[in-house]
Amino acid sequence: MRGSILMLNGLVDCKPNNDTIPLRGGIDIKRNDGLTGTIHFDWREDQMLLKMMLLYLLLFLPIVQSTVHCVRINFSRTSLKIKYLIKCFLRTSRNSQYVLQVNTNEEPKVSLRGSEQMYFELKITSDKRKNGMRKHKKCMFNEKIDTFWIHSEDVINEWMNLVKTAIEIFKFIEHIVIFHIDTFPMRNKDIVDFIKSLTPSIESCDFHGETETDEDVEYFLNNLNVTEFVGFNLKLSDHFTFPQDNFLEGFTIDPGNWLTFDKLLRLKGSEFYIHDSPITNQELNLFLLLWMTSQCHQNLGYLLININDPQSLVTIFNLPHERINPDVERIGR
C-alpha cells in the first residue's frame, strides 16, 4: 500500500493571483481564532503533489525591484580567469541587488541571479577539456542561464576564491548554500568555516548525500545561522535533532525518519514538506487538535506530511471538521 499525503492549507479571502491556487472540496477544520485549514489527500506520485511543490518554489522567490545600477570593480583584486566572465554578467544584468547560490557538487559552482531572470553560473572543474566552455540555456518562466567552466587542479580552493571574489564585488540580498556532504567529505568542515568567515548567517540551505551521518550536517547548522529555509534531502540517523530554534519560512524533510512527533512540535516554521516520517495517525490527530486550539504552530501556512496508515483516516479526523462539496471552488494560499 502506498503512503498517502496530507496537505493542510490556510484559506484566504482574496482574488486569485500568483500566490494563490483554487481549492475544491476537502475537509475544513477551524482554529479557535476563526482561521480555517483545508485538508486534502493525495498520492505521492500524483501530479498535484508536484504542482504544490512547484508553487512552494514560486512563493520563495524574492520580489526585487529592478533598478539600473553602475558597479565599479577593482579588477586588480580579482582573478584574471573570471575578469571576462564578470564583465559578461554585468552586460546582461543591470540590477543593484543579487542572489548568491553556492553549490559543493562534483563541479562546485557559484551562481548569481538578478531580477531579470538571468542566472550566471561559474563551475570549477578538474576536467581540462571543459576549461573555457560556455553553455546558454532557457528554462521555465523565461529563465536564462549562462554557464562557464574554469579548470583547476584544486577545485575547492579555486571555488573558495571565486565565492570570496563574488561577495567582495556584489551586494547580495540572499545567500543560498547547497551542501553535498559526500562530494568532498574531508573538506566539509573547511567549507563551513570558510562560509562562516564571509557571512555567519545565510537565508537558505539544502543538504544532499547518501552517507548516513549526522556529523557534517550538525557542524553546518551549529556554525551557520539559517534564517528562511532548510532542506534535508538525505537520510540522517533517528537520533538527529534540528539544533536551531529560530523561526523559518519553510522545511523540506525527505526522508523524515528522524522526525518524531516531539521533534515536529519543536520545529518553528510556516511551511513543512515531510516525507517518510514515523508519525502515526494518532499523533497527526493530536497535532491538528493542538493547532486548532492555538497550542502549536500558530504561524503554520502549509503542511504536507505522509500518512502511515491510510486505512484508518477516521483516527485523524476524530475532531470537529466539515467536508466540503467538491463542486465548490475556493481560493487557497
Alpha helices in the chain (DSSP H): 47-59, 80-92, 155-169, 188-198, 215-223, 261-266, 281-292, 313-316
Is residue 175 predicted with pLDDT exceeding 90? yes
How do strand 21-24 and strand 322-323 relate by DSSP bridges?
unpaired
Q: Average pLDDT in the 179-208 region?
A: 96
Residue 21: partners with Cβ closer than 8 Å, 6 or more residues away: 52, 55, 331, 332, 333
pLDDT at 186: 95
- Reported as a single tens digit per residue, the pLDDT across 235-280 is 999 999 999 999 999 999 999 999 999 999 999 998 999 999 998 9
Average pLDDT of every residue of the chain: 79
Q: What is the pLDDT of residues 31-51, one digit of tens each?
A: 898 888 888 777 665 422 222
CB atoms near residue 18 (< 10 Å): 9
pLDDT at 15: 34
Confidence of residue 55 (pLDDT cuts 50, 70, 90): very low
Residue 82 has pLDDT above 80, yes or no: no
High-pLDDT (> 90) share of the chain, %: 47
pTM of the prediction? 0.81
Q: What integer is the mean pLDDT of 149-153?
A: 92
Cα(132)–Cα(67) distance, rounded to whole angstroms?
A: 31
Look-up: residue for cell 528554462? Answer: 139
State the average pLDDT over residues 80-108.
Answer: 70
**Percent of the chain topping pLDDT 70:** 74
Residues 2-23 have pLDDT tens digits of: 445 565 654 433 333 455 666 6
Compute the distance between CA of residue 192 and CA of residue 67 in angstroms, rounded to an integer: 33
- Alpha-carbon torsion 260, 31, 27, 327, what sign? negative
Q: Is the pLDDT of residue 54 over 60?
A: no
Distance CA 237, CA 258 (A): 6
pLDDT at 106 over 60: yes
**Chain position carrying cell 498535484:** 48
Between 250 and 52, residue with greater pLDDT: 250
| pLDDT category of residue 332 using cuts at 50, 70 and 90 | low
Q: 100: which 3 cell numbers? A: 548568491
| Cα gap 196→333, rounded to integer Å | 35
Model confidence pLDDT, tens digit, residues 297-330: 888 888 899 888 878 888 988 999 888 788 877 6
Give the pLDDT confidence score for residue 6 in this predicted structure: 60
Mean pLDDT of 165-179: 90
- If one compares 267 and 333, the residue with the highest pLDDT of the two is 267
Please return the burial class of 245, using the count of CB atoms within 10 Å of its CB with bins 0-12, 13-18 and 19+: exposed
* pLDDT for 166: 87
**Residue 61: per-residue pLDDT:** 31
